[in-house]
């Protein structure tokens, strides 16, 4: 941390800051320029942030030198993490495609979608049983019944399942059925939920908050990691900007930045990141070209009848064409798609 | 809802949309222009949104006509709601000032702050016992012990207390101690928490999400209202923008807009909305001048030693001067401050 | 400037950066921590920025210590600048109100508006003769004929006039008629225009770019100042954010921040900053309460027939009520309104 | 345009709006629902916008049905425009790569860069002779001398040149030397400049404003087109958001959206859109995968000594590797790179 003192600061104020730093266990290096005095403070950043040093007289601002996350950082772990989701590696040499409906609406809908995406080569099945909806009056999900349907689809089609968990007390239930716990954009800073997911043995797919900086996103991952769960997949899903032509602005800059700062795998959700089916294929291709480890997509057998997010869902036929595109783009950047998902790897884990 | 069809749409596509609308119970009014066809659909907006009509062939987009919230709207209730927080009215003729430390750090700190803000004329005491922190390594709050300290301060100084609740399963505990449940910016779309707060008998202070539109904020209020709790106070606390000179951008446009759209009281948090103590007084004055029903502020006896948010906390002496300013600005816009809080109104409600 | 080196940087890379700094005439102070090496570089910031030091091997990033503007800064000039616009002081003890139509549409419209705003106590008249319009197909302004009308209104009603100049080659013409040159939000970084305005003898009202940071805004002022024109008035007019309920988000945090960083006067435009007439009064009051030196407003005798910005124009009757509000709020924060504008001070300056 | 009336509007207000619409030459279709009345108005949108209808009593808001641009729209012209820049087609079957230094700094620098990018297969040379700089104290460009150097490089290496023009009165000069006029992000709404470029016979590369919506960007193109110049290339270069890890947020959603709305070619600038050399290659690949017609990149023989934008410039060696990547990704999405630029096509056009 570097402490920048105000111009014209007086000597006693500088001394007080140095004394405070030393009391906190920091080594303080003073640099007095003609115009400004700055103090380098080597030590634990979080201690300093807690210390409200910026409120001391004469202090203009603190400039952090290191990232505030540790376990999530490449400085901490050089080699990339490969997360194993029910037998499917995420973050390794080959790309992963996760597909399925936005919401679980019925057994028929899930089975039809699962059959279609499996046939087209998807590696995992997604689908929401608990749905965060901005209106209390819209469909809120099938809840446990939805989880059961997903688990049955896993067994029938041999694909691990990813599904959202929205509250700390539901983690155990969802973890019982799902291979991977999704934490949604609105919950990225639901810290109790992050901690609870960190105590689960299931991998966690952590969506970026729609107004979260990359640093805050990695701090959210740190919450999960610091509880002992090292299986975190980052997912860029679009940020909120002034542009209204699309629902969100997919931030593909975030892909190489997150991979540089962190060893965790990074996937992209072009369905939410654009909000329109016609944009999903080009942005999915772009995500792979930008270096993402995979994509997660909404596919619905009949988008016009979907109970949520129909406008951004692609049809099975579009998905099939997209898979061919993704395979070609992946190969162009040196990373093929994985082979189709293996046979069912796990049934409901009673004794877990 | 108005359904705008694509240019060059064909007759069958239009017929299909009309049929779908009628099947959903809507009256469909067709307007065929030379260049475009639009269909007016009168009925329940949420049904239509769920219906994914935008995914039907030929549909360009849906244009909503009415706001998606009901109970929160001025159309639903013309007269302004006055929320009663432990005997203090919020949203009535007179302004309310809520003050206290960001976090409860110790009994001494809370009592010192409570004494000071009470003496300066504050009406309620704020303070966090559960703290949402972006880093897992910083101080997370004193939890129930903190709630107990706040309750004791209420009793000693006769001010109702407002404190944050961060997860659904803590609502009952916090409601036992607090006069008003605060839902923080990061939890504005934590829908389970909103529902649970809606089932509580305590008033709810709902902070705007840092990336939430005013409409989404009112939808979040709708979650609380729709569970039967009509005591909701809206709180603007700064939104995330590209500007980095301040921590957030306080959106005072939101004050008259929210009061126009909704009957709920609106207060402003200039401490979080600016992030710097030197800006708190001017923006608190501005909030009152913009028509807010009150302000909520961070005051700390020694900001440089605060365990959180020191840089944005004002000292008791600054707070006293600010109260005089707020009184004068309030009178200039026709609304005096309330009288200081009455004697203690409620002790810990054992049998609640 | 502080140069932060990457973790694990090697000694030669550090040496190369130090050598480069010294070659550029900087004193370089090396601080080697256990985890990071940082180099303090005291000298001219703009030289360093030009030097692309961040592209040198081993450099992680540069952290600027001082603001990049000089003449505009409070460090350079402690006392606040009072700009004299045709006899009306801006930035002194008393507040200024500038009012008039968005666009000059006809002699009748301008005279009617001028008469009304003068009667209500406005100090200056605004009105656009050259209009920046996002569509090439909408009304683009009356140009020189409009300037002539404004000048006549000045003479008849005794108010200095503020009007926009949109291109460098029009500065001379506009300066011939106007008492103050307005540079619009879309031109805040039209550097040739800034330079040309800097060479004019007329004061400059510099609107903040809708996506400009406060720092960039002050840098734009620096362009004008560095050409020798010290008469710059800053004008906050709303920034672009994700919120769609208002046309822009008025950033009142910017008022005290700009006044802290700079000695230049700061006024606020609540008409553009909100985009809706009903919001103009509350936000104008808030601007004054936040410490602005005045406001600039759109008033139109018949908003529903305005050729531009009708929805955000207030009527003369609303303006009159607003003036009373502004007077009261100004007094509440210790600053009355100025007396009404004096008698005509200047006619068209032929020999200028 | 659809006019949405307020709830509880009275009959006379509706009649007045209908009368106004008819007076303006519109056909007005009234739809009266139980809760709301809406009026469909078929006619010229720009007339209605100018008419300030939103300021009429009873009007809640206007909902535009059609895009406000015409000549730029796909509705107006179905087939994609191919712009010819000195013999190089932009927007056709094959991709274009434009490369060169941010600023022209010296003859040696330009020639070295031109030789390198030509050898690697670039099709056009870029370089700024007039530089928009946020500080008045930094290098502002070599101006006409810089244009001469670029023209010489064109002749020696046989690549058309693209260079920025910053003010209307420089259009003629720049057009004399350049094959394509670049209009920068800060000038996207410099309407005089747009008009002047529209009167030039050179193609125009129009960068998106950093806070411009896609619609505003196409309206800016409309300014150029409406003056008779149909040779416009759109260039996405990053928008301003809350994220600070990158200089801007490259908006690749904008690529398919702009291509859907408009027939004009769309290229991407990943150098400015990210601000860091390490991110340029992945985002350039992503741009191509998203469907861009090409990219424009900053290449500098020695980024650490660049007079501007060093940190985002790639070296010639990196550029060479990137070209191979772009070729492969282009082929994966069905569009190869163009053959290297042909022999010099044009020398300084004396008689133009």
- Segment A4-20, tens digit of pLDDT: 888 888 889 899 888 88
- Residue D112 vs residues D157, D259, D307, D336, D342: alpha-carbon distances, Å: 11, 35, 16, 26, 19
Helix locations, D226-293, DSSP H? 254-261, 270-274, 277-289
Look up tokens 């504005």; give the residue.
B188
- Return d(Cα A20, Cα A51) in angstroms, integer: 9
- Return d(Cα B268, Cα B284) in angstroms, integer: 8
- Residue range A90-94: mean pLDDT, rounded: 96
pLDDT of C342 reads 56
Chains that touch B (3 or more CB pairs under 8 A): A, C, D
pLDDT > 70 fraction of chain D, expressed in percent and rounded: 93
pLDDT of C46 reads 66
- pLDDT of residue A351 exceeding 50, the answer is no
Are D38 and B2 a contacting pair at CB < 8 A? Answer: yes
B68 in a structural domain: no
Are D252 and A211 a contacting pair at CB < 8 A? Answer: no
Nearest-CA residue of chain D relative to A261? D245
**Lateral strand order in the sheet of C59-63:** C27-32, C37-42, C2-5, C59-63
- Residue range A56-77: mean pLDDT, rounded: 86
**pLDDT single digits (tens) B286-323:** 999 999 999 999 999 888 888 878 889 999 999 999 99
- pLDDT of residue B171 exceeding 90, the answer is yes
Same domain (yes/no): D152, D297: yes
Same domain (yes/no): B12, B89: no
pLDDT of C107 reads 96
Same domain (yes/no): A123, A270: yes
- Residue A25 vs residues A41, A48, C3, C30, D251: alpha-carbon distances, Å: 10, 10, 24, 21, 45
CB C81 within 8 A of CB C91: yes
D240 touching chain B per CB within 8 A: yes
Q: How far A143 CA sits from the closest chain D CA (Å)?
A: 33
pLDDT of A160 reads 97
C141 in a structural domain: yes
Phi, psi at B161, each rounded to 5°: -120, 145
- Residue range B341-349: mean pLDDT, rounded: 48
Same domain (yes/no): C299, C224: yes
- pLDDT of residue A341 exceeding 60, the answer is no
D77 in a structural domain: no
- Residue range B179-208: mean pLDDT, rounded: 97
CB A204 within 8 A of CB A234: no
- pLDDT of residue D226 exceeding 80, the answer is yes
Q: How far D267 CA sits from the closest chain C CA (Å)?
A: 22
Same domain (yes/no): C138, C205: yes
**pLDDT single digits (tens) C318-341:** 999 999 999 999 999 999 898 875
A78 in a structural domain: no
Same domain (yes/no): D170, D108: yes
Which residues face D61 on adjacent strands?
A: D4
Higher pLDDT, B200 or B45: B200
pLDDT of A244 reads 94
Same domain (yes/no): B103, B221: yes
Are D257 and A245 a contacting pair at CB < 8 A? Answer: yes
In a mutagenesis test of the D interface, which of B62, B215, B242 is the best target, namely the one with the most D β-carbons within 10 Å?
Answer: B242
**Model confidence band, residue D349 (pLDDT cutoffs 50, 70, 90):** very low
The neighbour count for residue A14, using CB atoms within 10 Å, is: 19
Nearest-CA residue of chain D relative to B4? D65
- pLDDT of residue A26 exceeding 50, the answer is yes
- Return d(Cα C32, Cα C17) in angstroms, integer: 14
Same domain (yes/no): B199, B109: yes
B350 in a structural domain: no
List average pLDDT for each run of 10 residues in chain C, which is 352 residues long: 83 89 82 76 69 82 81 93 97 97 95 96 96 82 94 96 95 97 97 96 97 96 96 98 96 98 98 95 98 97 83 94 97 90 48 37
pLDDT of A350 reads 40
CATH of the domain at A46: 3.30.70.1140
Contacts of C56 in chain D (CB under 8 A): 304
User: C96-115 in b/e burial notation, b at 16+ Cβ within 10 A?
Assistant: bbbbbbbbbbeeebbbbbbe
A300 touching chain D per CB within 8 A: no
CATH of the domain at D285: 3.20.20.70
- pLDDT of residue D177 exceeding 70, the answer is yes
Q: Which of C35, C42, C244 sits opposite A33 (nearest CB)?
A: C42
- pLDDT of residue A280 exceeding 90, the answer is yes
Q: How far B206 CA sits from the closest chain D CA (Å)?
A: 23
Look up tokens 């039809």; give the residue.
A112
Token pair listed for C99:
């009012």
Are D38 and B40 a contacting pair at CB < 8 A? Answer: yes
ipTM attached to this prediction: 0.91
- Residue range A76-82: mean pLDDT, rounded: 95
Same domain (yes/no): D102, D15: no
Look up tokens 């720092």; give the residue.
C215
Contacts of D136 in chain C (CB under 8 A): 191, 195, 219, 222-223, 226
pLDDT > 70 fraction of chain C, expressed in percent and rounded: 93
Nearest-CA residue of chain A relative to C33? A42
Are B279 and C242 a contacting pair at CB < 8 A? Answer: no
CB A296 within 8 A of CB A235: yes
Are B226 and A137 a contacting pair at CB < 8 A? Answer: yes
- Residue range D274-289: mean pLDDT, rounded: 97
Q: How far A68 CA sits from the closest chain B CA (Å)?
A: 7
User: D165-196 in b/e burial notation, b at 16+ Cβ within 10 A?
Assistant: bbbbebbeebbbbbbbbbbbbbbbbbbbbbbb
Nearest-CA residue of chain D relative to A244? D213
CB D121 within 8 A of CB D159: no
**Model confidence band, residue A342 (pLDDT cutoffs 50, 70, 90):** low
- Return d(Cα B109, Cα D8) in angstroms, integer: 53
Average pLDDT, chain B: 90
Q: How far C312 CA sits from the closest chain B CA (Å)?
A: 13
User: D94-126 in b/e burial notation, b at 16+ Cβ within 10 A?
Assistant: bbbbbbbbbbbbeeebbbbbbebbbebbbbbbb
Same domain (yes/no): C182, C302: yes
- Return d(Cα A50, Cα D65) in angstroms, integer: 52
Indicate the number of domains in chain C. Answer: 2
**pLDDT single digits (tens) B220-279:** 999 999 999 999 999 999 999 999 999 999 999 999 999 999 999 999 999 999 999 999
- Residue range D80-94: mean pLDDT, rounded: 96
- Return d(Cα D110, Cα D104) in angstroms, integer: 6
- Residue D178 vs residues A294, B345, D58, D235, D343: alpha-carbon distances, Å: 42, 78, 54, 18, 16
Phi, psi at D182, each rounded to 5°: -95, 135
* Pairing status of strand B2-5 against strand B59-63: antiparallel
CB B310 within 8 A of CB A55: yes
pLDDT > 90 fraction of chain A, expressed in percent and rounded: 69
Chains that touch D (3 or more CB pairs under 8 A): A, B, C
B78 in a structural domain: no
∠ CA D340-D346-D351 to the nearest 5 degrees? 165
Chains that touch A (3 or more CB pairs under 8 A): B, C, D
CB D329 within 8 A of CB D285: yes
Q: Which of C33, C65, C244 sits opposite A38 (nearest CB)?
A: C65
Are C66 and A29 a contacting pair at CB < 8 A? Answer: no
CB A253 within 8 A of CB D246: yes
Where residue D270 falls (left for φ over 0; alpha for ψ -120 to 50; beta otherwise) is: alpha
CB proximity under 8 Å: A 304-333 to D: 325, 328-329, 331-333
pLDDT of A62 reads 82
Domain that holds residue C99: 83-332
Q: How far C350 CA sits from the closest chain D CA (Å)?
A: 25
In a mutagenesis test of the D interface, which of B3, B9, B26, B33 is the best target, namely the one with the most D β-carbons within 10 Å?
Answer: B33
C338 in a structural domain: no
CB pairs under 8 A between B and D: 45
Same domain (yes/no): B171, B254: yes
**pLDDT single digits (tens) C84-102:** 999 999 999 999 999 999 9
C73 in a structural domain: no
Same domain (yes/no): C124, C221: yes
CB proximity under 8 Å: A 47-66 to D: none
CB A135 within 8 A of CB B46: yes
- D116 three-state secondary structure: helix
pLDDT of D49 reads 66
Q: Which of B244, B257, B331 sits opposite C332 (nearest CB)?
A: B331
Which residues face C251 on adjacent strands?
A: B251
pLDDT of B352 reads 37
pLDDT of A347 reads 43
- A259 three-state secondary structure: helix
Contacts of B68 in chain D (CB under 8 A): none
Are A249 and D245 a contacting pair at CB < 8 A? Answer: no
Are D283 and A246 a contacting pair at CB < 8 A? Answer: no
- Return d(Cα B105, Cα B153) in angstroms, integer: 13
**pLDDT single digits (tens) B40-98:** 777 777 666 666 788 888 888 887 777 888 899 998 999 999 999 999 999 999 999 99
Which residue, among C295, C297, C85, has the nearest Cα to C175 in the 3D structure?
A: C85
CB D335 within 8 A of CB D295: no
Nearest-CA residue of chain C relative to B244? C213
C179 touching chain D per CB within 8 A: no
A68 touching chain B per CB within 8 A: yes
B43 touching chain A per CB within 8 A: no
- On the 0-12 / 13-18 / 19+ scale of CB atoms within 10 A, D65 is buried
∠ CA A26-A32-A35 to the nearest 5 degrees? 130
- pLDDT of residue D22 exceeding 90, the answer is no
The neighbour count for residue B8, using CB atoms within 10 Å, is: 10
pLDDT of A349 reads 40
């Amino acid at each position: 941390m570097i402490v920048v003192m105000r111009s014209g600061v007086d000597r006693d104020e500088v001394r007080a800051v140095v004394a405070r730093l030393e009391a906190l266990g920091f080594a303080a290096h003073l640099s007095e320029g003609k115009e400004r005095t700055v103090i380098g403070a080597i030590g634990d950043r979080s201690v300093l942030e807690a210390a409200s040093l910026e409120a001391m007289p004469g202090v203009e601002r603190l400039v952090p030198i290191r990232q505030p996350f540790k376990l999530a950082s490449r400085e901490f772990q050089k080699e990339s993490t490969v997360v194993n989701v029910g037998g499917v590696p995420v973050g390794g040499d080959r790309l992963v495609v996760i597909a399925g409906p936005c919401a679980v609406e019925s057994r028929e809908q899930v089975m039809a979608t699962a059959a279609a995406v499996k046939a087209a080569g998807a590696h995992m099945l997604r689908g929401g049983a608990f749905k965060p909806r901005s209106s209390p009056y819209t469909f809120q999900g099938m809840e446990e019944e939805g989880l059961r349907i997903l688990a049955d689809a896993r067994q029938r089609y041999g694909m691990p399942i990813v599904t959202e968990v929205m509250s700390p007390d539901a983690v155990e239930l969802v973890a019982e059925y799902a291979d991977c716990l999704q934490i949604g954009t609105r919950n990225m800073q639901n810290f109790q939920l992050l901690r609870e997911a960190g105590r689960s043995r299931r991998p966690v797919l952590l969506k970026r908050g729609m107004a979260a900086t990359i640093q805050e996103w990695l701090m959210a991952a740190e919450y999960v990691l610091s509880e002992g769960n090292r299986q975190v997949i980052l997912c860029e899903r679009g940020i909120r900007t002034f542009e209204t032509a699309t629902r969100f602005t997919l931030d593909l800059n975030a892909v190489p930045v997150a991979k540089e700062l962190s060893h965790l795998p990074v996937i992209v959700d072009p369905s939410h990141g654009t909000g329109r089916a016609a944009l999903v294929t080009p942005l999915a291709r772009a995500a792979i070209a930008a270096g993402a480890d995979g994509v997660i997509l909404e596919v619905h057998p009949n988008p016009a009848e979907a109970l949520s997010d129909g406008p951004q869902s692609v049809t099975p036929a579009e998905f099939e064409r997209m898979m061919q595109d993704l395979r070609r783009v992946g190969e162009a950047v040196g990373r093929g798609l994985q082979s189709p998902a293996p046979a069912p790897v796990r049934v409901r884990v009673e004794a877990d």
